[in-house]
Structure 1
Amino acid sequence: MEIEFFDILSKNGPVSWSPNTVKTRLCLNYLAIPHKTTYLSYPDIAKNHKSLGIPPNPKGLEFTCPAIAVKQSSKVFALQESLAIAKFLDETNSSNSDRKIFPNPGALSLALLVQRVVDRILNSPVAKIAIPKVVDILDPSGREYFIRTRTEWFGMPIDDWAGDLEIAWKNLARDVDIFSKMLVEAANGPEGGPFFMGSVPSYADFVFVGYIVWLKEANEADGESNG
């Protein structure tokens, strides 16, 4: 089985920076699955996915990254969306059978809970910090596409939508506390460890790390650091 992983192009070189593609990158690396990576500029994503026969997403953007193309014999199977990819990789992986992205029956529910909390609490301050700076790590055509589409979505220029970044940082410091408490409880549990499930990493960790990487990559685009 050959896997091609489609990530979003960055002018900084071969690096995953989007919170969603980071999840897939972590899944592939954790399971030690051999693969190659193809980086797509934003305007090229839809064309690429259509050529692979990937069905459009039922909600939101029709075609997004991450996506993977799986070649078995002469057949190619492709899909998009990070959670769907994670489930597929976990079910079909034969490279490292001792590792699982969803190591027990409760792992999927925990991952969905962490994703929901991230979406409702953490996403807003992180997005307001990261999105204005994402333009600085994109290739020229990706940058133009990103600025144009986000301006249309927000109904205003990106910087105006983001507002006061100092307030966003303060909100982030406040909102990240819930994740700190979850991780402290996991560390003090019967199977204590640094992950949401204690000593075993799972998809819930990849969800959280995806946002940390997004914030880090975007914040370092212009040389800034807030610790």
Structure 2
Amino acid sequence: MAQAHIIFYDIISSLDPPAWSPNTWRVRYALNIKGIPYETVWVEYPDIEDVCKEIGAAPTSTIAPHYTLPVIQDKSTGVVISDGPLIVEYLDKQYPDTTQLFPPGTIALQAGFTSAHGSAISPINHLSLRRTNAILNPRSQEYIRRTREQAAGKKIEEITPVGEARAVGWEKYRGGLGKVDSWYQKSEGPFVMGESITFADITVVSWLVFLKIIFGEDSQEWKDIAGWHNGRWERLVNTFAKYQY
């Protein structure tokens, strides 16, 4: 493998260890699965745009320039890349002797899978918002509260459903995961593509680990998820545990 010197920009939390974001988990898992050495630079939410501009990272939305993490900076090539899937595609091509997470001919297929997965689990976005904000440091908490409330026109406490609405939301999320489970059932192995881990599996696991982290391993929320669909999600998370850090 070509000598790598990757700087990985991730969003910090108040937890120890600080990793939590499902979007950045996808790149952290990829780097660890590939065995590519890297160092993490932890960034607070309100600093993301300035950090990205300083290192030359492109915005991930060009309608109104919007900067997000993950970003990597490959010191061995001078390349700076934004956006999880693009980062992993780059790592596959630049370091071909590592595990290929986008096997030849699968980029379009996996893009379709990850899009469908995102739609299937979308009810979790509002259900998790309040807990997500609670694990951040004060500066990032203020930023998320201000930007999300401005976009939604209501308080975070009003965005996150409670009571019966919460129960309905969780049932919709379980149904969405049930759809994903049905896709896995068609596989001839534990992963989407049989016996081989791909970016599709990393995406699924990243969202599950995110929920396990923000709600807590001993929470009823995680216990429920772990028991759904014959325990598939807990098994998948446990399989990836060796690639977390």
Does the TM-score normalized on the shorter chain lie above 0.5? Answer: yes
Residue deviations 1:96-144, cap 9 Å, x none? x151011231x22332122111222212x11122111111110110111
Contact 1:126 1:215 in 2 (8 A): no
Structure with greater contact order relative to length (CA < 8 Å, sep ≥ 6) = 1
Instruction: Choose from 63, 67, 71 the match for 2:67.
Output: 63
Cα distance between partner residues in 1 of 2:199 and 2:38: 19
Give the superposition deviation at 1:41: 0.5
Give the superposition deviation at 1:48: 0.7
Q: Residue 108 of structure 1 aligns with which residue?
A: 107
Instruction: Choose from 62, 78, 81 the match for 1:79.
Output: 81
Residue deviations 1:168-203, cap 9 Å, x none? 1111111111111111110xxxxx210000111101
How many residues align structurally?
Answer: 215
Contact 2:35 2:98 in 1 (8 A): no
The DSSP-based 3-state class of the residue aligned with 1:176 is helix
Instruction: Choose from 204, 211, 214 the match for 2:207.
Output: 211
Gaps of 5+ in 2: 224-245
Q: Structure 1 segments of 4 or more deviating over 4 A?
A: none
Matches within 5 A, 1:112-191: 112-123=111-122, 125-163=123-161, 164-186=165-187
Contact 1:20 1:66 in 2 (8 A): yes
Q: Which is helix-richer, 1 or 2?
A: 2
The DSSP-based 3-state class of the residue aligned with 1:37 is strand
When residues 28 and 60 of structure 1 are mapped into structure 2, their CA distance, relative to the original with a 3 A threshold, is farther
The DSSP-based 3-state class of the residue aligned with 2:8 is strand
When residues 64 and 16 of structure 1 are mapped into structure 2, their CA distance, relative to the original with a 3 A threshold, is same
1:202 aligns with 2:198: yes
Cα distance between partner residues in 2 of 1:116 and 1:166: 25
Gaps of 5+ in 1: 187-191
Cα distance between partner residues in 2 of 1:26 and 1:203: 9
When residues 60 and 20 of structure 1 are mapped into structure 2, their CA distance, relative to the original with a 3 A threshold, is farther
Give the superposition deviation at 1:51: 0.4
Residue identity over aligned pairs, in percent, reads 27
Q: Residue 11 of structure 2 aligns with which residue?
A: 8
